[in-house]
């Protein structure tokens, strides 16, 4: 997944960024709402982590504007505002979850995974695809009962296909899922990762539409 973190606290922001990266996700971190708006217009995000008190405004208004223009990107609010009324306002504005600071980073990872599974249509963390049994929460895969080890990038790429079964994903779309704005991407990176996934999970796990992109293979 590619995640947008909107947080002006440098210590907390760095901790959250590092946690997301350790989970194998891609994260872009901004500290202002205007910069966040630019980022959302420039890239397709799978999730937004939103602080409510930012230097250039309130996150709640930003969220309402996001929903008003039809943007359905999942949003988890991260805030020190812990009153029940604050939580109600956040959820009514369109948030998918609400986490009060200080919070445990492992809990944040679990909430991110839960929201992502709901949006992908797989609320159950255990899914099967042909001979593959996939634990989305534990980020583990068994092929015919035998555990298969994936690197972080391989898992992130396979997860992108699982979230959109049957959908054709272009090379550019996949690169956006795997890399932040400031990352250097080699021209054959996606091809290399797809090749490795086929060797580990089966040659038919990912289909190629020549000149157009890739899709999850039929089970």
Residue 6 CA from chain centroid, whole number:
14
Write phi, then psi, for 123 (nearest 5 degrees): -65, -25
Residues 109-157 have pLDDT tens digits of 999 988 887 776 666 678 889 999 998 878 889 999 999 999 888 988 8
pLDDT at 16: 96
Q: What average pLDDT values come out for the chain (219 residues) when binned by 10 residues?
A: 94 95 90 95 92 94 94 92 90 93 94 83 76 87 93 88 87 82 76 94 93 89
DSSP-derived letter for residue 217 is P
Model pLDDT, residue 215? 94
Is 17 in the same domain as 77? yes
How does DSSP classify residue 125?
S
Instruction: Show which of 120, 141, 165 is a domain's final residue.
Output: 120
Q: Does residue 48 contact residue 75 with C-beta atoms inside 8 Å?
A: yes
Q: How do beta strands 47-51 and 75-79 pair? A: parallel
| Same domain as 158, residue 108 | no
What per-residue confidence (pLDDT) applies to 37? 95
CATH number at residue 131: 1.10.10.10
Instruction: Give residue 94's domain range.
Output: 2-120
pLDDT at 138: 80
Residue 52: in which H helix or E strand, if any? none
Question: Is 68 in the same domain as 98?
Answer: yes
Give me the pLDDT at residue 98, please: 94
Residues 115, 133 within the same domain: no
Same domain, 93 and 196: no
Residues 32 and 113 in one domain: yes
Q: Cα(109)–Cα(102) distance, rounded to whole angstroms?
A: 14
22/106 same-domain check = yes
Residues 72 and 159 in one domain: no
One domain, residues 81 and 61 = yes
The residues pairing with 6 across neighbouring beta strands, listed in sequence order, are 30, 50
Chain CA centroid to CA 31, Å: 19
Look at the chain and report how many structural domains it folds into. Answer: 2
* The overall pTM is greater than 0.85: no
């Amino acid at each position: 997944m590619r995640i947008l973190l909107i947080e002006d606290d440098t210590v907390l922001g760095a901790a959250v960024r590092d946690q997301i990266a350790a989970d194998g996700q891609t994260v872009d971190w901004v500290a202002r709402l205007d910069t966040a708006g630019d980022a959302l217009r420039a890239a397709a995000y799978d999730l937004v982590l939103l602080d409510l008190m930012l230097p250039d405004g309130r996150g709640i208004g930003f969220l309402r504007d996001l929903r008003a223009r039809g943007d359905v990107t999942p949003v988890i609010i991260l805030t020190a505002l812990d009153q029940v009324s604050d939580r109600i306002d956040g959820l009514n504005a369109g948030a998918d979850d609400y986490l009060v600071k200080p919070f445990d980073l492992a809990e944040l990872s679990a909430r991110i995974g839960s929201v992502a599974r709901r949006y992908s249509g797989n609320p159950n963390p255990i899914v099967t695809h042909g001979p593959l049994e996939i634990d989305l929460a534990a980020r583990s895969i068994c092929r015919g009962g035998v555990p298969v080890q994936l690197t972080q990038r391989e898992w992130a790429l396979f997860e992108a296909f699982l979230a959109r079964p049957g959908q054709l994903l272009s090379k550019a779309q996949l690169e956006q899922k795997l890399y932040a704005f400031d990352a250097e991407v080699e021209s054959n990176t996606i091809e290399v990762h797809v090749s490795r996934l086929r060797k580990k999970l089966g040659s038919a796990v990912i289909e190629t539409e020549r000149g157009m992109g890739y899709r999850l293979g039929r089970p």
